[in-house]
Amino acid sequence: MEVSIIQMDIVPDIVPGEPQKNYTHALELMGEAMKDHPDVMILPEMFNTAYAFNFIDRVGDREARTLKELFVPFIKDTSVNVIAGSISNFTNDGLYNTAIVFSRDGRVVCEYDKVHLFGLMDEDKYLMGGQSLGLFEVDGVPCGVIICYDLRFPELTRLLALKGAKALFIPAEWPQPRLEHWRILQRARAIENQLYVISCNRVGKKGDDVFFGHSMVTDPWGEILCELSDKEEIKTIEIDLKSVDEVRNKIPVFKDRRADVYTLWTKT
């Protein structure tokens, strides 16, 4: 599977109308990435508005309509799977941080709402927390998606792995100074769940927050196959999904789990 990471800056000081600039810029970068003929590409978290909560009632997408209107023609034309990062997304229930996954024919195959809200960036004051797993398939391969802060909660990735996920995609706006946490947690999730971890972190600034990029691809052994810079960058890399089964057969952690014991402990 060829994976393209679209590590991009986001217009930092949102005013009404500027999400269009972010959508346009994302599509331009996606067009560049198609030179490498990827099977799937991923964008960063909240790439349409960033954390523009002061303006969010005017700039957030409604039921992801703008995203779908702009992205579906591109996807149908290029026949590429897209993890459209995540967007600020209004529904009838409220505002969510939603990752939208498109198949090659432009169908939405997953809408995952971020479960764990990051209070340090006021997400819990403005957003609703998700209630479901981000499980989907890319060309028949079971995959999962989590968003940024979700990475700190190993239970979520383990549930995806138990349901068959062989690759985990992570759109993020992970800020300084926690670069080593970013690296270590991705390697940990890859090792303990024996799957590929593919992340896409934004770059640039918003107010006092600096986003360092360093998007990564980590294999099921926890080896970092590529790590991007702190600038806008497109990186395409091939991952060998057969290695997931090979690693899981070599060290059968899923077979050796003691779910019967864990259940007893959670009841006490």
For 112-126, the DSSP string reads EE-SS--GGGTHHHH
| pLDDT at residue number 15 | 58
CA distances from 17 to 53, 60, 90, 197 (A): 14, 10, 16, 34
Find the range with the poorest average confidence among 46-50, 140-144, 236-240, 247-251: 46-50
Selecting among 110, 143, 148, 200, the annotated active-site residue is 148
Contact (Cβ atoms closer than 8 angstroms) between residue 53 and residue 122:
yes
| pLDDT at residue number 52 | 84
Contact (Cβ atoms closer than 8 angstroms) between residue 223 and residue 240:
no
Q: 134 is in which domain, residue-wise?
A: 2-266
How many structural domains does the chain have?
1
pLDDT in tens, 4-16: 999 999 975 555 5
Residue type for 48, please?
Answer: N
**Distance (Å, whole) CA 26 – CA 14:** 16
By DSSP bridging, strand 224-227 and strand 216-218 are antiparallel
| pTM metric for this prediction | 0.96
At 183, which helix (H) or strand (E)? helix 179-193
| pLDDT at residue number 207 | 79
Mean pLDDT of the chain: 94
How large is the average pLDDT for residues 235-247?
97
| pLDDT at residue number 56 | 82
| pLDDT at residue number 208 | 83
Share of the chain above pLDDT 70, in %: 97
- pLDDT bracket for residue 214 (50, 70, 90): very high
**Distance (Å, whole) CA 215 – CA 201:** 5
Selecting among 45, 111, 123, 173, the annotated active-site residue is 45
Nearest to 116 by CA among 159, 151, 69, 64: 151
Contact (Cβ atoms closer than 8 angstroms) between residue 74 and residue 86:
no
**Distance (Å, whole) CA 54 – CA 59:** 10
CA distances from 116 to 109, 150, 155, 199 (A): 22, 6, 12, 17
How large is the average pLDDT for residues 210-228?
97
**Distance (Å, whole) CA 69 – CA 102:** 12
| pLDDT at residue number 179 | 96
| pLDDT at residue number 16 | 55
Selecting among 110, 111, 114, 143, the annotated active-site residue is 114
How large is the average pLDDT for residues 235-262?
96
Residue type for 170, please?
Answer: I
**Has residue 75 got a pLDDT over 90?**
yes
Q: Catalytic annotation on 76?
A: no
**Has residue 268 got a pLDDT over 70?**
no
Contact (Cβ atoms closer than 8 angstroms) between residue 91 and residue 50:
no
pLDDT in tens, 99-131: 999 999 999 999 999 999 998 888 999 999 999
**Distance (Å, whole) CA 267 – CA 107:** 41
**Has residue 37 got a pLDDT over 80?**
yes
Q: Catalytic annotation on 200?
A: no
Q: Catalytic annotation on 45?
A: yes
Query: What CATH number does residue 202 fall under?
Result: 3.60.110.10
pLDDT in tens, 149-203: 999 999 999 999 999 999 999 999 999 999 999 999 999 999 999 999 999 999 9
